[in-house]
Structure 1
Amino acid sequence: MKRAGIILLLFVLSVSLFAQNRNIVAVRTAACPVIDGVLSDECWNSAASVNSFSQKSPFYGKPASQQSEVKVLYDDNGLYFGIRCWDSAPDSILRQLGTRDEDLNADRFNVKIDPYNNHLDAFVFGVYASGPQADSRFQDAAFNAVWKSETRIDDKGWTAEMYIPYSALRFPKAEVQTWGIQFERLIRRNRETNQWALEEQNASNVQMLWGTMSGMQGIDPPVRISLNPYLSASVSHFPHHDASVDDYSRSFGGGLDLKAGLSESYTVDITLLPDFSQVQSDDIINNLSAFETQYSEQRLFFKEAIDLFQKGGLFYSRRIGRTPRGFYGVYSQLDSGETVISNPSQAQLVNASKLSGRGNNGLAVGFFNAVTRNTYAEIRTADGGKRDILTEPFANYNILVIDKQFKNSNSFYIINNNALRERAYLSSNVTGAGTGIYLKKKNFKIAFNTAVTQNDSALFSKHATDRAGFAHATSFSKVRGNWIWTLGQSTRNSRFDYDDMGIMSMNNYQSYTFTSAYAWYNPVKWLKEFRVNNYFESSYRLTTGRSIGSEAMIRLSILTMKHHFYMWGGYEHSLSRAYNYYESRNPDIPYFEPHWSYAYLGFSSSYSKPFALDGDFSLINVPYDDSYAVNIALSPFIKIGNKFQLRYEIGTESVEHSVGYAGTDTLGMPLFGIRDVVTFNNTLSLTYVIRNYMPLTLRVRHYYNEGRYSDYMNLDENGEPFIHVDGDYNYDFTFNAFNIDFVYSWQFSPGSSLSLIWKTGIQNELLPTHMSYLQNFRHTLESDQFNSLTLKVIYYIDYQQVRRHKA
């Protein structure tokens, strides 16, 4: 028995060592294959191939259920991959059509390339069996490159051909090249992921387990210059109810995006007179909290190659071209008889640029700059004249970051953010630094981050101060194995404020946290994964020593094997009452929050079927004041064929007898109220793909939020809302937001597209009525609405293509 155990151990070790030393030899070709998805070109016969794949999921380490084969060729211009995915049931291959970078319900094959073979970054090029492409970088999820691919489905399975030009990659200048590489196949109907070089579960750096691609000689990093000029024309309409103001506005313009490689590693990206009219409308909500709503970034320039500039979490890209800080104060500055002609909701971006890259030595350098011009509200005076009110001053935003990644995965970064304005307005400066160090064969990690902020006194900043603020955070983590955990501590003093270029909710605290997770993989035959997460936090206010939060959480999640059904649930509970220094909007009058508990349950069914359903249910209970909140969200997904899909998201929340900030009383003191709040959120998303790279998308969203107060009170000296307030107060509200986004797009050549965009937007806020939901919805549609229609054409010009055509 002991002898058998030794033999088994040696076998496992040999397999592991073999996996870490896998290699494929790229063969130079004089005649490049035609990229048509058919592996019939003569040159493929001379290419070396690999075909041994293992499952990463659902059955880790077992042979792939279907065989795959990959061949690699190269020439002076780029790499060629020939891929054969055998399938015993070709009719069952999922093949949903779609657009670039979508998460489609279709089989997929990924080629992952680490040109420096230093395990620090990688390019991912994926192609679906139905044809659409998907690409990314490990350090830039929004990465987009221009490359070619075609697929074919036949009676043996499906095939793919990919051509990746060197201009889409970053690699060192060397006579002989050896790159890290990984091949990965996803069989969607089985939720199966197969890999050529099997990656360890919960590995801290999966690239260290990849294979290599050798044999490439005599290739040079190309000159990387590309242009994306654009032209756009738009017309918009909004009823001003003023005969002197034209309800229609028209615009015609153009701009340019430029990308240029300064070396084989570093790239500069510039956008001039950008137009972001095609981005999806924000999901606007009625925010009753003391903290700013954080919206996701939709503008491509601020999503691509931006990860480096977010070191330390000090940059929020939506600050660039933000809603002017004086936007909501315009009406309070009007004189008698004056009306608002226009009040732009965004500061106009003049230009933006970023330079970034990482060299072979692991050193990354990034510089970001953006300029916004003065933003004015235009006012018509009582005598018919015009005047302007400055709502956002000229600003020059800058970020400089240096990040060093060492071969043992240790790292160090330093970053500086600053926003410069005229002396009368806010200027800010933030410097941060951090390091991560792995210990004991990368099983453990120590991380330390610190930052210093400085803000000049300013007209628009409610947090403005000319004193330095300071923050630091330290953590010690176990990062490998089935059980992982983190012990952390963070501190921010009362002067720490990076809100000018970032988004900050709290300062003046010290916090201690412990998080852990334990995962069982394939614990029983019918179960793919069972996971338990725990969380504990205790926080104190630095200047007073009072508790501002102490809570614990446990979360359970399971993923079944047969039907790929995913379910999760959890429970959170406050361990003590805590002082909230933000809810009252006055830090000198904290609110003493009661105990609370929060339970939730969610599920998601398999998306390989024509119908799928996601759901979330949650309950918050505050026994102290007999308050509770119930939240229900359902999201059915319907797929009709491979071209049409529909998703309907409906969510409702009912909050009863909750205590919260309402406004101020006649003396300017914080006024709290007992309120009932109802929220409905409905979103309908339709996608019809005429053919690949020619989709029609429609997204309709209605958000409804209504609140009624039954009593008003002030806080007593202990922060309790016990002092009843008499008076004629009415802070009841009804808020509606309605949006339509319709987009037709056509990618008529790689990197070039034509888009037609129609948008409708309605927002209204009024006192509650006794209308039903449908009556309220009808009233919303009858309200003043903003409509716009935009036609935009973008054309991609690549220097290498132009040079080859001329040659």
Structure 2
Amino acid sequence: MSRPLLPLLLPLALVVGLCSSIVALPAKEASAPVPRPRRVYETTRLSGPPPAIDGRLDDACWQSTGEWSSVFTQLTPQYGAAASQATEIKILYDDRNLYVAMRAHDEPIAARSRQQGERDGFVGDIMGVNFDSYHDQRTGFEFDLTAAGQKIDLVLANNGWDTTWNAVWEGKVAHEADCWTAEFLIPLSQLRFDPRNTVWGLHAWRWIDRFKEESDWNLLANDDSGLVKSFGELHGITGLRSARRWELLPYASMRMESAPNRDSHAVFHTGVDAKVGLSSNFTLDASVLPDFGQVESDPAVMNLTAFETYLTEKRPLFLEGKDIFAFPFGEEPLFYSRRIGAPPSFVPGHLASDMPDASTLLGALKVSGKTNGGTSVGVLAAATDRETVLVDDGAGSRTAEVAPRTGYLVARGQQDFRAGDTVVGGIVTHVQRTGLSSELAAQLPETASVVGADVTHYWQEREYFFHAVALATDVRGKPAAIARLQTNSARYYQRPIDGYERFDATLDRLSGEGLWLQGGKASKGHWRWTEDLMIKSPGLEFNDLGYLAQADQRKLKTSASYVEKDPAGWYRSYELKLEQENTWTTRGEHLGSGVDLRASTEFANKWNGNALLGATGAGRDPVALRGGPLLYAPSRWNWSGYLETDVTKRLWANVHAEGCQSAQDAFSSSAYGAKVSVRPADSLVLTVAADATTYSDRQQYTASDRARWLVSRLEGESRSLSLRAEWHLRPELSVQYFGNPFGSTVRYTDYRQVALPEAAALERRFGPVLAPSIADGNCSFDFDADGAADCIFARPDWNDASFRSNLVLRWEYRLGSTLYFAWSQQRYGGSSELREDAWSSLTSLRSQRPVNQFMVKVTYWFSS
């Protein structure tokens, strides 16, 4: 057996095993849900003293007022079966709060999973309640408690959930010999509702970790037809008034940095976040001089592509309520919040001071809510300040502007029809940069605007759907700034095309359009299918406030999947999916076609895994030569596999692997990783993860003089280790540590000049191997042998190493008020000196002095 085929065995075995199992199993009808009447809970207004929220259900109101409701039904693993353990719920209310009591009958305390975790972490046994207070059958506000007493709150929508929403509420649990109990106090100010509406949607649920069993008070649909749409109902809430609530969350912080060759100094910040209820269903959020830091550093990565790395948002200011502004265009969002306050992109020469690691956020304002007629609105405005650095141009030091004062606006609206089965919406984004210096005006556009519209329509009880998105973009600025947009990796207007010239150095605006159409069968039965068409014009550009990797594309993708959710034999559930995709430029140049077969399953022993096998035919790459002509891309196959043990155990692990191999040995890559997590006590969890990546490309772009293009064989590798420890002393107090050593090395050899870029044969596509002249850290080539260098560039070989760590203490010392202490350390090293491997590049960190940052922050919550 040839060596390159060995990694194929794991995903191949899993895919073949699943396919053969389907054939071997007896024919099975799709598990059509048995029609069930929608359950109704009649709540009661509390007339006596409210309960003391301590988790013990010994208050008088729980004994006498209102009714207890029980009979929960399994959602998983056995849909529609009776719950293995009984659960009860009671809901009361008054003018200010909802009061919820739940009782989870269970085996002795030792059998229960009382693992502690961070807020919003689904760890151990859980039970909770969700209110569709709009009663729009699209949005629910959920409040959960784990058996260890930790809070979880989230916004549930029919397309998923968002745990970044953090409400201020009380919740406690208690344990008895044959059950555990939970009490919730949920201020009505944390919900949005129409006081005239006396019917809300209601969902109550319970998770038993050791069985991986979820049971529901009103059984949710498991056929992908909509979660909130299948809620039960809460009746009896009357006499509520339109709330004019307000909340204030001022903060004070001190940050001190210790870095080599710099004096240590402390920086003090103060600011305030405010929340004002404009009505019961609209809220104004404002932040003045918000703390813009994030607790955990972004992970180190090795990026050898032409595109920027997409970073996950971790800042609380932009996490809460992010779904309100979501407007995806395929996998590329029109609103990418990391743009606001991003590090300056312009770096002047001869720096005499450090570049800022972020742009200062002056303030942000957000209005969001939903009208009684089903119109949801979200408006976000933010402003960042001007940033400067010192530069030394030989005539002395001067101040140079690296980021202008910038304003950002996002406005998103949607209108529901047919009880949420038809939704029509739109979005407007705008970026305005003011007072640009001449240097910045040549780098950045002055204005960038996007207008988009979308519609989603379901029919036949949400079995089928159609989704359409259309958008137009307009970017304006100085010709030099627009020229940079024309020649960047999203479009490469300078790419030579026979008889066609797109680049225009005189343009002062760039405009484009986009269209995304999607439709298919989304739910019910075993089979699902979708058809996608995406068109992006060459001038489409929304990177000022969104994320766009590549314009000038037409994509057509077809997918079909087989889904099994009823457990049998060796599995609890599985899915097989086949996808086929074709890509062209908007001029009709065929770039490539590919097919993927995916398989995923949860095994009967509560392990889970997935695998992928893919093949891509020969095509042409429009970005490989960084603005050069289309380059022939040989056919290739790719694979991946993932396996995870039972995460409910105190010790669990996962392994993953992926790889790609092309014809002609033009390109290959592989990545392997493993993660082990152990919980020596309910309050402590330790996790270690290791990842290794190798990469080889015989067609790697290296340099160009715009008349000739040079490629080489690139060989790179990276190694990464992640260490994480979480110690939860109690639900309100935790200590977390994260450490990430990372090393990478890249070597360039076998330099060749591009000859016939679209030739299928390697020997015709490139010329012979060239030997560079290396002097003073530069490589040079004399193509015409006249003794003068025709192409000179810095030697591209490099090694990189870093170590990033964070230690964070978080204490919620009173409801809604928090004290943080954080210590972060970073070490960076690297050079053009070739190292034996990626791990050896880490040795350069020994001689590097660390950069230490210490931060203390305290917040205090006020509320009406």
Q: Indicate whether 1:632 and 2:672 are aligned.
A: yes
1:243 aligned partner: none
Give 1:345 deviation, angstroms: 2.4
Aligned letter for 2:155?
A: R
**Is 2:671–2:694's contact at 8 Å kept on the other side of the alignment?**
yes
Query: Aligned-pair distance for 1:415?
Result: 0.8
Match of 1:264 in 2: 280
CA distance change for structure 1 residues 392 and 201 in 2, over 3 Å: closer, same or farther? Answer: same
What is the CA-CA distance between 1:667 and the residue it aligns to? 6.6
Partner of 2:852: 787
Q: 2:216 aligns with which of 195, 199, 222?
A: 195
Which residue is equivalent to 1:125?
143
Which stretch shows the higher mean deviation, 32-41 or 686-695?
686-695
Write the deviation string for residues 112-133 of structure 1: whole angstroms up to 9, x where unpaired. Answer: 1011222021101111010010
| C-alpha spacing 1:582/1:733, structure 2 compared with 1 (3 Å) | same
Of 460, 469, 483, 1:440 maps to 460
**5+ unaligned residues in a row in structure 2: which ranges?**
1-28, 487-507, 760-764, 774-778, 780-794
Deviation at residue 779 of structure 1 after TM alignment:
2.1
Task: Describe the SS at the equivalent of 2:229.
Answer: helix
Q: Give unpaired runs (5+ residues) of structure 1.
A: 1-8, 241-245, 800-807
For 2:556, the equivalent position in structure 1 comes to: 512
Cα distance in 1, alignment partners of residues 543 and 847 from structure 2: 38
Of stretches 454-463 and 734-743 in structure 1, the one that deviates more from structure 2 is: 454-463
Task: Report how far residue 594 of structure 1 moved.
Answer: 1.2
Contact 1:285 1:737 in 2 (8 A): no
Which residue type is aligned with residue 168 of structure 2?
V
TM-fit CA distance, 1:26: 3.4
CA contact (8 A) 1:99 1:694 kept: no
CA contact (8 A) 2:624 2:701 kept: no
Alignment deviations for residues 245-301 of structure 1 (CA, whole Å, 9 cap, x no partner): x43232012011111111111111111111133421011323110111000001111
- 1:537 Cα deviation after fit: 0.6
Q: Per the alignment, in what secondary structure is the counterpart of residue 189 of structure 1?
A: helix
Tell me by how many angstroms 1:593 deviates: 1.2
Amino acid at match of 1:647: T
- Partner of 2:643: helix, strand, or coil? strand
Paired residues for 1:438-477 under 5 Å = 438-458=458-478, 459-460=480-481, 462-463=484-485, 466-477=509-520
The equivalent position to 2:623 in structure 1, one of 582, 601, 604, is: 582
Distance 1:347 1:439 in 2: 47
Residue 21 of structure 1 deviates from its aligned partner by: 3.7
Q: How does 1:768-779 map to 2 (within 5 A)?
A: 768-770=833-835, 775-779=840-844
Distance 1:762 1:548 in 2: 42
CA distance in 2, matches of 1:528, 1:278: 39
For residues 173-572 of structure 1, the aligned pairs below 5 Å read 173-174=195-196, 177-240=198-261, 246-312=262-328, 313-327=333-347, 330-331=348-349, 334=350, 339-380=351-392, 386-406=397-417, 407-422=419-434, 424=441, 425-426=444-445, 427-458=447-478, 459-460=480-481, 462-463=484-485, 466-481=509-524, 482-522=526-566, 524-543=568-587, 545-561=588-604, 563-572=605-614
8 A contact 1:469–1:496 mirrored in 2: yes
Whether the 8 Å CA contact 2:136–2:420 is kept in 1: the answer is no
Distance 1:212 1:667, change over 3 A: closer
Query: Residue 158 in 1 paired to residue 180 in 2?
Result: yes
C-alpha distance in 2, partners of 1:287/1:607? Answer: 31
Match of 2:766?
722
* Post-superposition CA distance 1:583-619 (Å, at most 9, x none): 2211x42222111111111111112211101110122
Aligned CA distance change for structure 1 residues 126 and 660 (closer, same or farther; 3 Å): farther
CA 1:577–1:643 in structure 2 vs 1: closer, same or farther (change >3 Å)?
same
Structure 1 equivalent of residue 724 of structure 2: 685
Alignment of structure 1 residues 644-793 onto 2, 5 Å: 644-656=684-696, 658-665=697-704, 669-719=708-758, 722-724=766-768, 725-728=770-773, 729=779, 730-770=795-835, 775-793=840-858
Distance 2:340 2:379 in 1: 15
Deviation sequence 1:458-516 (CA, Å, 0-9, x none): 45562166142011011111111221111111111111111111111111111111122
Deviates more, 1:506-515 or 1:417-426: 417-426
Judge conservation of contact 1:235–1:789 (CA < 8 Å) in 2: yes
Q: Counterpart of 1:584 in 2: which secondary structure?
A: coil
Percent of aligned positions that are identical: 23
The answer as to whether partners of 1:744 and 1:756 remain within 8 angstroms in 2 is yes
Query: Alignment partner of 2:210: what SS?
Result: helix
In 1: Cα distance, 2:602 partner to 2:109 partner: 26
Of 642, 651, 671, 1:611 maps to 651
Q: Deviations over 1:623-661 (max 9, x none)?
A: 2226432221100011111111011110111234x2243
1:565–1:606 Cα contact (<8 Å) kept: yes
Q: Which amino acid aligns with 1:378?
A: L
SS of match in other structure, 1:702: strand
Code of the residue aligned with 1:293 in structure 2: it is T
Q: Conserved in 2, the CA contact under 8 Å of 1:558 and 1:566?
A: yes
Which SS does the other structure have where 2:648 is aligned? coil
Change (3 A) 1:578 1:42: same
The AA in structure 1 aligned to 2:379 is: F
Match of residue 134, structure 1, among 114, 136, 152: 152
Q: CA separation in 2, counterparts of 1:113 and 1:595?
A: 52
Aligned counterparts of 1:92 and 1:156: Cα–Cα separation in 2: 11
SS of residue in 1 equivalent to 2:134: coil
TM-score by length of 1: 0.92
Q: Distance in 1 between matches of 2:753 and 2:122?
A: 51
Contact 1:518 1:531 in 2 (8 A): yes
Partner-residue secondary structure (3-state), 1:49: coil
Amino acid in structure 2 at the alignment position of 1:550: S
Q: Deviations over 1:352-396 (max 9, x none)?
A: 11111112221011211111111112235657x531111111111
User: Could you tell me the TM-score, scaled by structure 2's length?
Assistant: 0.86
- Separation (CA, whole Å) in 2 of partners of 1:571 and 1:431: 38
What is the Cα deviation at residue 707 of structure 1? 1.3
Q: Which amino acid aligns with 1:585?
A: R
What are the Cα deviations for residues 670-707 of structure 1, in whole angstroms up to 9, with x where unaligned?
43211221111110011111222211100000121111
Q: Is the 8 A contact 2:302 2:744 kept in 1?
A: yes
- Paired positions, count: 766
SS of alignment partner, residue 222 of structure 2: coil
Q: Counterpart of 1:401 in structure 2: which amino acid?
A: R
Q: Give SS of 1:138's match.
A: strand
